[in-house]
Chain A
């Protein structure tokens, strides 16, 4: 399989020392990749006990379209169900703008 530049999508998952779940995303969060992120988050949320926090590091996120935002909302919904805080770290300007316009920033930015 050839990977075109800009096509690279990568999720790195880890549990840190505080017991927080961390996912680092690299690439576009869109129709093609949203399910992959949702699945990665669900894996953490399904743990017993669920993590207190789920942090998504967005520094490497190159794009987030409406389906990407739908995936973030789905993860937020799942996290609320398990009492996990879902937080977006290192939000690029475009993502912040999308969250601001859609009135959803407060869901992902509580400390």
Chain B
């Protein structure tokens, strides 16, 4: 103790001016002389350095960074050392030096533990946010399922793990997998039992992940560790990829044993990332399904190209709505009679609404009508059966349609026309007069009973019956852009089509309506012309059969 008395005296002088309050200061402080011995230490500092009592060497009780800072402060004099920082036990401390006249240094310590933790947390959070923003924009940029899987495992290995395996729900008996290690992505399809990876079966069903500490890396099956993964697996995270409504799959993250295991905050972050990846993957899958359905429906529902059937011309034209759905609510079909003396059934209709629901209803009507063809002799009966097949207690979505049973006789075509709540067919005569067919009936699919009245019409050579949907008459456009094409314009246009072949009639009407609409939005537009050709009648060979006709 005596050896330090000289310096301690001046320090005591210093202390005497602030008195005992110094000892109770809320910040740790200690006085160390030029030789490195502790001269005085206040209560807070004594909490930090329990072994430090006046007289002990600083080097024995304090961390190296403070000892080193003290040495530099003594050697360099005033201004050499301002502040030194370092860790001591669980604390992060900043030590500010004040030089005394006798060469002693007063060290004022500030606990920066919380601040440095907060800074570290903030840095991590900023990195994660940047990563998530980047991940989201890259994941959402693709609607391709495989590409989404690739991106998800690439991003996961870039930031979260040494390797990542993405397992999607089984397609058939195999699960499509994408795995990534060292930036190389591999797609595989594996027959696997989810129960072999703890938590995977649950994750694939969308349940929350089990904590990684519960998963023993040693039990991982071969497929879960990608080829090229160097060294034993140290820790594993299995996290669900939540999708839209249904789980999109699960993500397995692997770290090598020489890397730190996943901590709780990393597991939470892995789930946040998985949520983004799952949403993107799910969107890609929904898009693929949707486009697949649309393509399948398109192939089924696109109107047939029409032609001459048993001496009668049929021509059809269809222009889908400008709205986004590609499959609309209008349809037409021609079911040729078995022989020249049999009736051909033509149908043109319109179902309520648009999009998938309308497409499904359209498909149902077309296939039901096909099945009911043998009953086409009686339109009323056929419509009653069709109505019964379409009735639903859940909704009143309905269809309107026109049935035309067509049979060529010598010199003319006999039509039986029935409207089921549909705009009336127009008949254009050889002299250009246009009349509505005298049929009427109830729409189909919404009411328990339907009634219908069938009109019979004979078409001479060059005469046409036009079936159309309200997309024609309700097409908005014209000089001011908001007038309906309307019945009068359609009838006037049709009057000029007397004597034209069916195909020309359809083209002319479509062209006029298209010109009327211009760039305006429009509904589905379907037209069908049934025309008796202006023919050269090739005389029947035996005088009894109907003979053949040429256009």
Interface residue ranges, A against B (CB under 8 Å): 31, 66-67, 69-71, 73-74, 77, 101-104, 107
Contacts and interface: CB of A to CB of B under 8 A. Distances in A.
Interface stretch (B107-115, B278-286, B296-304, B437-445): B437-445
Interface string B417-442: 00111111000000000000000111
A69 to B, nearest CB: 7
Contact of B396 (A31, A70, A101, A103): A70
Most interface-central of A67, A74, A102, A104 (chain B CB within 10 A): A102
10 contacts: A66-B329, A66-B350, A66-B352, A66-B353, A66-B398, A69-B398, A70-B397, A73-B447, A101-B419, A102-B421
A102 B400 contact: yes
Contacts of B350: 66
A103 B423 contact: no
B223 to A, nearest CB: 49
Nearest to A107: B447
Most interface-central of B329, B353, B440, B446 (chain A CB within 10 A): B446
B396 A74 contact: yes
Given A31-B353, A101-B423, A70 B446 contact: yes
Q: Which 8 pairs between the two chains have the least Cβ-Cβ distance?
A: A103-B442, A102-B421, A73-B396, A66-B352, A102-B443, A74-B396, A73-B446, A70-B396
A75 B320 CA distance: 30
Interface in B396-410: 396-398, 400
Interface string B444-471: 0011001110000000000000000000
A103 B446 contact: no
Contacts of A107: 447
Interface of B: 329, 350, 352-353, 395-398, 400, 419-424, 440-443, 446-447, 450-452
A71 B398 CA distance: 11
B353 A104 contact: no
Given A70-B352, A102-B442, A107-B447, 11 more contacts: A31-B353, A67-B352, A71-B396, A73-B447, A101-B400, A101-B422, A101-B423, A102-B400, A102-B422, A103-B441, A104-B442
A42 B450 CA distance: 25
Contacts of B443: 102-104
Nearest to B523: A65
B397 A103 contact: no
B421 A101 contact: yes
Contacts of A70: 352-353, 395-398, 446
Contacts of B396: 70-71, 73-74, 77
A80 B545 CA distance: 55
A66 B352 CA distance: 5
Contacts of B419: 101
Contacts of A66: 329, 350, 352-353, 398
Contacts of A71: 396
A71 B396 CA distance: 7
Contacts of B400: 101-102
A23 to B, nearest CB: 18
A67 to B, nearest CB: 6
B354 to A, nearest CB: 8
Contacts of B424: 101
Contacts of A104: 421, 442-443, 447
A103 B447 CA distance: 11
Given A74-B395, A103-B442, A69 B423 contact: no
A31 B440 CA distance: 26
B424 to A, nearest CB: 8
A73 B421 contact: no
A62 to B, nearest CB: 12
A104 B443 CA distance: 8
Contacts of A67: 352-353
